[in-house]
Amino acid sequence: MRMVLGLMAMALLLVESGGILRPVRSTNAAPATVSDTPKTQVDFDTQLKPIFQSKCMPCHFSGGKMYDRLPFDKPATIRKLGTRLFTRIKEENDRKLIEDFLAQP
């Protein structure tokens, strides 16, 4: 009996603290769909290239020792490598931008 009461108390604490989502009731609102979420295009030259220049230069840019094999100033290279780039890219915002770029058609 004590165990049941303890579990109920924990469940109430979770609900009250926001640990469990409560259903939102709306009268006439249509349910949100994935297409309702605004998609912003990530521009390689203005948003991603500066990240790679700060983290991967000079090796992966023109004149660098890795440029011939992995040129980071080309979007095709970034798409090919994907999230393997995250060995050097640690900032969460930068990673999110790269992931969004990779998800673009």
Closest CA to 60 of 88, 83, 90: 88
pLDDT digits (tens, 9 = 90+) for 56-103: 999 999 999 999 999 999 999 999 999 999 988 999 999 999 999 999
Tokens, residue 10: 């924990």
Residue 74 located in a structural domain:
yes
Q: How many domains does the chain have?
A: 1
* Separation CA 94–CA 89 (nearest Å): 7
Residue 56 located in a structural domain:
yes
Res. 39: pLDDT tops 80: no
Residue 68 located in a structural domain:
yes
Report how far apart, in Å, the C-alpha atoms of 55 and of each of 3, 4, 11, 65 are. Answer: 54, 54, 46, 15
Residue 39 located in a structural domain:
no
User: For residue 88, what are the domain limits?
Assistant: 44-103
pTM comes to: 0.61
